Structure formats: C-alpha cells, structure tokens
Amino acid sequence: MTDPLAACRDVTRRFGDHLAVDRVSLAVQPGEIVGLLGANGAGKTTLLRMLLGLLPVTAGEVRLFGEPPSRTTRRRIGYVPQGLGLYDDLTPLENLRFSQAVFRSPLGALPADLARETLPVGRLPLGTQRRVAFAQALAHRPDLLILDEPTSGVGPLVRARLWDVLRDASDGGAGVLVTTHYMEEAEECDRLVIMADGRVVAEGKLSDILRGERVAVVDAPDWPGALTALEEKGMTPALVGRTLRVVGSSPAEVEQALAGRECTVREAPATLEERFVQIASVGVSGAS
C-alpha cells in the first residue's frame, strides 16, 4: 500500500499548560476528501498547521508524502488558510502570477472574469476572493490540498461552486483535507474526522458517524412549554421551526417527559449536525 499523502500519528501540541491537540492520528489518501469537523477551539487549525510544518509538534509524528514536512513537500501542497493568504494590493492575476512563479508552474487557468479583474483583491467581494484563493492553491496542480474553513462567509451558490472545484481536484487524484463547521459541507466529504477539545472523538464515513442514530421529533401546540419540560428533564431539545428534535433520548423517554401535554412524538433519522452535537457534547467519552 502506498504512503498516505498526509499522515499524523499521535500528534500532540501544547501551548504552555493548554493542550491544543491531544494524540491525534489521521491520514489522507489520494483522491479522498477528508473533512475535519469541530467547534471553534477544537484544535483543527493547530492540527493543520502542524501538518504543514508551520508549527512544531510537542509529540508524535507528521508525514507528508511519506517524509517529514520540508521545502520539497511544499511543492506538492496547495493551501488555503482561513485568512486566504492573498495580497490585498495585487489583482487576482498578479496574485496568481506570483504563486506560479514561486512554484515554477505554467500559468494556469484563472476563470475569465477573475483574469480580467483590474481591482486589487482587497476590494473584491469575499466570494470572489475565495475563488481567487482556490485558483491560486490549485494552479500548480498539487497532490494535496489543505483548506482551513475555505468557504466561510460566502453564499450557498459560491460555496457550491467551490465544492465543485474541490471535487474535480479529488477526482483528478488529489487528496483534500478540509476543515469546516458547515454540516452540509461535511456531507460532501468522503470521510470525516470530528474533533472536540483537541481530540478525535469520531471518525469514518458519514454513514459510520451517523450509524443509524435516530432522534425523537416532537410536535406540540405548546412547544415553548414542551421545550421547558424537556430541558427540565436534562434532555437537549433543538427547535426546528415549531418542531422539537431531541438527540440522545428515545421516543418513549420523551413521551414520558411530556406526559399530560398535548403532543405527538415520532422517531426520525438524526442529521449530521445532531450527531455532531451529540458527539461533541459527550466529548471524549463518546468517541467512537
């Protein structure tokens, strides 16, 4: 079996007393999109920075293309940081030219509308900026794409277009490691790694993560009262429209908690977001 494009084994990172990443292991194979999920502060960005060689590990091992991060491995990586890493005072084409000159790759295709753009990147809408960052990261045809919340702050249409770009890259054999907190994006990934408090709390395909998990769905005319009653019983109901969805409790338990109230309780498959909340709230003890 070939080496994974990116791998980390038992990687730990401390900042003083704070344990940011705790014995995390993951791997990204060619043609695979791996989604790294977690709340803010879960350790996703720290993990990416260690993978890229931007941050030394406190313990553990990081490998890119079978070797430690180095200038050689950088040639094969495309990176989109949270802040995009574009020069605000240069046009999209000038940004791309700089990147291609550094990577010594032929001038790749920039979407026509971006290539014609004469305004500096800093004066373009965020969605356009993100498209430029994607084009720049892909221009040298990297074997591994690492993206840190790449679609944050853009509308659904631009997000869909960016994901088309990622899917094309992975179809072409590139491995993709992407952090996100958008559940609809996570569903686009081939495999998910969920982090909480610096640790991996769940990992696998979407179906593995959901593993037939179901939620109790409550329809009640007096939904505020039902919500209060469920919370008083220590349950974690979520309000969707005027429907309450309760993760981690069976319909029988919910019916019992709402005894005497006018309501109907049924069961439905859990969404990824619900499963994520469940895993993250259970934390390390709930790791699969």
Smallest separation, CB 63 to another protein (Å): 8
Angle value at C-alpha 75, between 87 and 142, nearest 5 degrees: 85
Smallest separation, CB 62 to another protein (Å): 5
Q: Which is nearer to another protein, 118 or 285 (CB)?
A: 118
Smallest separation, CB 163 to another protein (Å): 22
Q: Which is nearer to another protein, 29 or 100 (CB)?
A: 100
Would you say how long the chain is, in residues? Answer: 288
Note the residues at the interface with another protein (CB under 8 A): 9-10, 50, 52-63, 68-72, 74-75, 77, 79, 81-90, 94, 97-99, 101-103, 120
Find, among 170, 147, 157, 1, the residue nearest to 79 by Cα: 147
Q: Which is nearer to another protein, 91 or 271 (CB)?
A: 91
3-state SS string for 119-135: CCHHHCCHHHHHHHHHH
* SS3 of residue 11 by DSSP: strand
Q: Are strands 144-148 and 77-80 parallel, antiparallel or unpaired?
A: parallel
Smallest separation, CB 87 to another protein (Å): 6
Contacts of 252 (CB under 8 A, 6+ apart): none
Smallest separation, CB 9 to another protein (Å): 7
d(CA 144, CA 5) in angstroms, rounded, equals: 7
Q: What are phi and psi of 248, to 5 degrees?
A: 85, 10
Q: Which is nearer to another protein, 121 or 279 (CB)?
A: 121
Smallest separation, CB 100 to another protein (Å): 8
Q: Which is nearer to another protein, 138 or 226 (CB)?
A: 138
Q: Which is nearer to another protein, 30 or 53 (CB)?
A: 53
Residue 164 has which token pair?
Answer: 């088309």
Alpha-helical regions (H) of 83-173: 92-103, 112-116, 126-138, 156-171
Q: Which is nearer to another protein, 79 or 276 (CB)?
A: 79
Give just the sign of the alpha carbon dihedral 50, 51, 52, 56.
Answer: positive
Smallest separation, CB 272 to another protein (Å): 30
> Within 13 Å of residue 268, how many CA atoms lie on the same side as its CB?
16
